[in-house]
Structure 1
């Protein structure tokens, strides 16, 4: 039966983060579900709910995936609630519960809310949709706060890569902070690339190759020729999962130079040591770790020269050691 369907299941905060990674929902349906995780009650920070919006009736495989990825619900015997929505704006419905948030100098909101009237804040409009990254997860919050911290300390970047961009939020934040920089944003998911383009237009951010523009590419890691051509970068952002972060360490190191700053997120506290080891082997050093609940956001610096045989661009930007101290 076609139409718009909603599947709801209570879960913990940690499960919500995993469940909101929509690539985990491999089902027989032809449409990609829209997944929204939200807190039920601020007084109970571990009480969350996941809502999955589908363009067709959810199949048993999707329901089974939900239950397997939410052991707390399975343990308590809670079953997903499946309902068909009436002819309403289901995208608007999916935004309900996503309150505007403040992270550093950023005000992140959906199209259902107004931008901030505070001139000191940069408003970014991101709707929940078929890509991860509305800013409401600790990983994205940590990245936004880390970017803001770099700006507050006077650091400047001219060549930036956002690997696994999702909705484009972090690329947009970097654009607000360093408006003359060349930024390239990539994702393995073509839907995410499309969504990022739509969000860029919604936020009046120019797409293209020049300074002050963001270029979008679909890429598995940094395999795309455009990503290789622009290297080395002086700032790389990667808010993905721990496994891909470890696997991408050699590629990211190859796209770096001495002084490159790296922001990594999407890992759990228990995965931090493994991720840090992978990048230490590639010549990085951990300089700052911000932890929100069990979600670390790591800031590292490249201390040795690796990578493609290509002369680094000379810029007037301060070395990362000016910010982080001597390596």
Structure 2
């Protein structure tokens, strides 16, 4: 791919945008694609997909998928030669999710005294707290904390580490996270230090890393990843949990909810709760 970084934007009705996002998920060539989907104009039913290809193959695959959805208006913008990610994050407001208040360095003076304040610097990692899936996980966790505590917590696909850090800051004695991206692991560990949280993050694919395997079983597993790996890891997550343990699953579109839930129900899990935020779903399931 050329040195030009681009952003592909697609706008259209919610039904079409969600279908296009699901098609991007199902396309093997865009399996590692960074993208988001959100409501841009509620009054006129305008939803927006933002995709950030990193290779020519991804760019071509995105175009091939989106062209199948004729009601979408698609455009491509060249990103300026600047730290555009840092610039974008600097304009994001803090997020309140139940007892949790997630903020960046630019908003450190806004943190209330009555909340669990999490300073999260994203850099190149996913999980500032603004995405519907991260907010869904935090809201689900906040609700669970009203009834019980979770001594051992595992965060699969930790990104910035916000979920494991939230667990460590609310009393979990062990909070360990994994990610397949080494940069995310570094950022997550830095965020744990910033928050004086006893959370630990390791580079790993799946749940076989010794730091994960030897310290289970867990009371709670976060898995805020994508629908295909959520399905593929359903048995491994079951094995990692104590009987009666809970899993908070997200990273999936509402259109993918039935597929993911079916995979977990087939492993004996029981659905405890579901949350919807924008086009995204969060599921809370319990191992019997």
**Do the structures match in fold with TM over 0.5?**
yes
In structure 2, the residue matched to 1:151 is: 145
CA offset at residue 61 of structure 1? 3.6
DSSP-derived class of the 1:262 partner: strand
Q: Which runs of 5+ in 2 are unaligned?
A: none
In structure 2, the residue matched to 1:209 is: none
Q: Radius of gyration: which is bigger? A: 1
1:79 to 68, 75, 81: 75
Contact in 2 for aligned 1:124/1:169 (Cα 8 Å): yes
In structure 2, the residue matched to 1:203 is: 195
Q: Does 1:122 align with 2:116?
A: yes
Answer with 39-48 or 119-128: which moved more. 39-48
CA offset at residue 160 of structure 1? 0.7
Change (3 A) 1:297 1:230: same
**Which structure's residues are more often helix, by fraction?**
2
Q: Does 1:187 align with 2:179?
A: yes
Answer with 242-251 or 71-80: which moved more. 71-80
Q: Aligned partners of 1:138 and 1:239: how far apart in 2?
A: 11
DSSP-derived class of the 1:227 partner: helix
CA offset at residue 118 of structure 1? 1.8
Q: Does 1:277 align with 2:262?
A: yes
Q: Aligned partners of 2:24 and 2:106: how far apart in 1?
A: 24
CA offset at residue 185 of structure 1? 0.3
CA offset at residue 298 of structure 1? 1.1
Q: Aligned partners of 1:204 and 1:37: how far apart in 2?
A: 33
Change (3 A) 1:250 1:191: same
Contact in 2 for aligned 1:258/1:302 (Cα 8 Å): yes
Q: Aligned partners of 2:252 and 2:246: how far apart in 1?
A: 18
Contact in 2 for aligned 1:103/1:145 (Cα 8 Å): yes
DSSP-derived class of the 1:234 partner: strand
Change (3 A) 1:11 1:190: farther
Contact in 2 for aligned 1:36/1:128 (Cα 8 Å): no
Q: Aligned partners of 1:102 and 1:18: how far apart in 2?
A: 31
Aligned length: 281
Q: Aligned partners of 1:98 and 1:246: how far apart in 2?
A: 32
1:214 to 196, 199, 213: 199
Contact in 2 for aligned 1:132/1:167 (Cα 8 Å): yes
Contact in 2 for aligned 1:249/1:279 (Cα 8 Å): yes
Q: Aligned partners of 1:122 and 1:90: how far apart in 2?
A: 29
Cα RMSD of the aligned pairs, angstroms, is 3.4
> Which deviations, in whole Å up to 9, do the C-alpha atoms of 1:252-292 show, x marking residues without a partner?
11112211111111222333233223222323211111222
CA offset at residue 168 of structure 1? 0.7
In structure 1, the residue matched to 2:101 is: 107
Contact in 2 for aligned 1:289/1:299 (Cα 8 Å): yes
Q: Does 1:9 align with 2:5?
A: no
Q: Aligned partners of 2:23 and 2:134: how far apart in 1?
A: 14
Question: What does residue range 307-318 of structure 1 map to in structure 2 within 5 Å?
Answer: none
In structure 1, the residue matched to 2:244 is: 259
Q: Does 1:160 align with 2:139?
A: no
Answer with 245-254 or 58-67: which moved more. 58-67
Contact in 2 for aligned 1:261/1:302 (Cα 8 Å): yes
> Which deviations, in whole Å up to 9, do the C-alpha atoms of 1:283-314 show, x marking residues without a partner?
321111122244221111111xxxxxxxxxxx
**Which structure's residues are more often strand, by fraction?**
2
Question: What does residue range 92-103 of structure 1 map to in structure 2 within 5 Å?
Answer: 92-103=86-97
In structure 2, the residue matched to 1:325 is: none
> Which deviations, in whole Å up to 9, do the C-alpha atoms of 1:197-238 show, x marking residues without a partner?
222233333xxxxxxx21211111101122110111111111
> Which deviations, in whole Å up to 9, do the C-alpha atoms of 1:122-167 show, x marking residues without a partner?
22223443222222222111100011001123x1111110011111
Q: Aligned partners of 2:42 and 2:93: how far apart in 1?
A: 12
DSSP-derived class of the 2:129 partner: coil
TM-score norm. by structure 1 comes to: 0.72
